[in-house]
Amino acid sequence: MREYRQFYIGGEWIDPTQPQSHDVVNPATEQVAGQISLGSAADVDKAVAAARQAFESYSQTTVEQRGELFSAILGEYKKRAEDLAAAVTEEMGAPAKLSATAQVGMGLGHLATAAKVLKDYPFEEDRGTTRILREPVGVCAFITPWNWPLNQITCKVAPALATGCTMVLKPSEEAPFSAYILAEILDAAGVPAGVFNLVNGDGPTVGAALAGHDLVDMISITGSTRAGVEVARAAAPTVKRVHQELGGKSPNIILDDDAFAKGVKIGAAGVWSNSGQSCNAPTRMIVPAARMDEAASIAKASAEKVTVGDPTGDVKMGPVVSEAQFTKIQGLIQKGIDEGATLAAGGTGRPDGLDTGFYVKPTVFANVNNEMTIAREEIFGPVLVILPYDSVEDAIAIGNDTPYGLAAYVSGADQDAVRAVASKLRAGQVNLNGAPVDLNAPFGGYKQSGNGREWGETAFADFLETKAVIGYTPAPVEG
């Protein structure tokens, strides 16, 4: 059993001020896999003080010095890749192959991307007689979730390190193992003491203390819209910068052409990945009304091919992260049945043969309308809902009829038609025809999906203040 009872503060592993044990449950076995300590406001004070002290020197480091640091971090990360993958599978149930490739790979990708952007980023530029300086925002606080732990930690930590900021991380208490290993990686790479700090805890205690702390200059949260609202409220009195990457209910519009079947297959597969626990999952498929039965049949076949089981083995889908999530998803599946949607595949209960573990059946609902609960609420599980449309304009209206705007998807044989639909969707990222992930593409949402953008060069802006030094280059004297 893993025991990670200390916090990483000021370059050292130290005991909590008021130890409070928390069990971390393996969702595949329902057994305790490890224990951590939950922190307090006093621990947050220590971590923020360490970050504040370190900022004085780290903010003055050169691009070259930070580039050398990234080289060391990347080397240490690769050494610990197997450890990271095993931790992710154990803490949140991602299948071993997914953990080793996508989960660990996304973390490595964000670090490598930030290192590349750093080399040529315009921290200074002249506009006439004025010099524009882009300087680190200061001490940053990060609150991250359990579903893609390394992805969501590194897409904050990497640009913060690159721009000269210092930071305090509160990872999810449900999936903290990989965050501890990442702290060990940063320590081994020689990240200066106090630049990166880790304090475990829950949202109402450690999260709220970070959000309201008067020595924190920026807070970035990835989580539910509800949690994002609470963080913004706590941050408001200190007028700190607030970055939010929140919920989603992403539309996936399948156009009526020869690529229809392919589009449905790709869309359904995107829902089963990571057990549907992705804020940008294409869970709301929108298809021509006349092809509803065809779409349901294709999606049903996709769901029935998914292997579900022990994530340490060769399966496509493991469990969802916790009993609470399992119960929530079961309730929403039942709600879909009660509200009259057509259950095409899956349903309530565990898959056959799985009596232990928080396993959910890959589920497909057809003939859904946008007023149903399953079309409105973020289920965060392997549940696909299929809605009909009468015209492309109708499909766009249905797609935009949501309080969220994190991601959207469009597929079709005519690239111009696909692009035209994409231009009318209110979402921060629109994927066309199953294009692969682009780590340089800005990631973030419209509406209640948040504020700000992560990933690639665009992410740097959220960690920088802009200073105009007027008269930096005096105008030549005439005559």
Identity (one letter) of the amino acid at 446? Y
pLDDT exceeds 70 at position 479: no
The pLDDT of 129-141, averaged and rounded, is 98
Domain count, the chain: 2
Active-site residue, 245 included: yes
* 161 and 74 within one domain: yes
* 84 and 123 within one domain: yes
* 451 and 387 within one domain: no
Q: Per the domain annotation, does 440 fall within a domain?
A: no
The overall average pLDDT reported for the chain is: 97
* 327 and 229 within one domain: no
Cα→Cα distances 466→51, 119, 166, 194, Å: 21, 19, 18, 24
pLDDT of 422? 98
* 142 and 14 within one domain: yes
Q: Per the domain annotation, does 475 fall within a domain?
A: no
* 462 and 387 within one domain: no
The pLDDT of 50-75, averaged and rounded, is 98
State the helix-helix crossing angle for 63-79 and 177-188, rounded to 10 degrees: 130
* 309 and 202 within one domain: no
pLDDT exceeds 90 at position 183: yes
* 294 and 366 within one domain: yes
Of the candidates 245, 378, 454, 457, the residue annotated as catalytic is 245
Q: Per the domain annotation, does 439 fall within a domain?
A: no
pLDDT exceeds 90 at position 477: no
pLDDT of 204? 96
Identify the CATH number of the domain in which residue 84 sits.
3.40.605.10
Q: In 289-305, which positions are buried (b, 16+ CB within 10 angstroms) versus exposed (e)? A: eebbeebbbbbbebbee
Of the candidates 140, 155, 279, 378, the residue annotated as catalytic is 279
In this prediction the pTM is 0.97
* 346 and 228 within one domain: no
Helix or strand or coil: residue 246? coil
Determine contact, residues 255/392, Cβ cutoff 8 Å.
yes
Instruction: Give me the domain span that covers residue 360.
Output: 251-432
pLDDT in tens, 241-283: 999 999 999 999 999 999 999 999 999 999 999 999 999 999 9
Query: Quick one: what percent of the chain has pLDDT higher than 70?
Result: 100
Active-site residue, 155 included: no
Q: Per the domain annotation, does 402 fall within a domain?
A: yes
Report the 10 Å Cβ neighbour count for 390.
11
Q: Per the domain annotation, does 423 fall within a domain?
A: yes
Q: Per the domain annotation, does 319 fall within a domain?
A: yes
* 263 and 229 within one domain: no
Q: Per the domain annotation, does 316 fall within a domain?
A: yes
Backbone angles phi, psi at 85, to 5 degrees: -65, -45
pLDDT of 476? 79
Identify the CATH number of the domain in which residue 404 sits.
3.40.309.10
* 46 and 170 within one domain: yes
The pLDDT of 164-180, averaged and rounded, is 98
Q: Per the domain annotation, does 204 fall within a domain?
A: yes
* Predicted confidence band of residue 87 (pLDDT cuts 50, 70, 90): very high
* 259 and 330 within one domain: yes
The pLDDT of 344-367, averaged and rounded, is 98
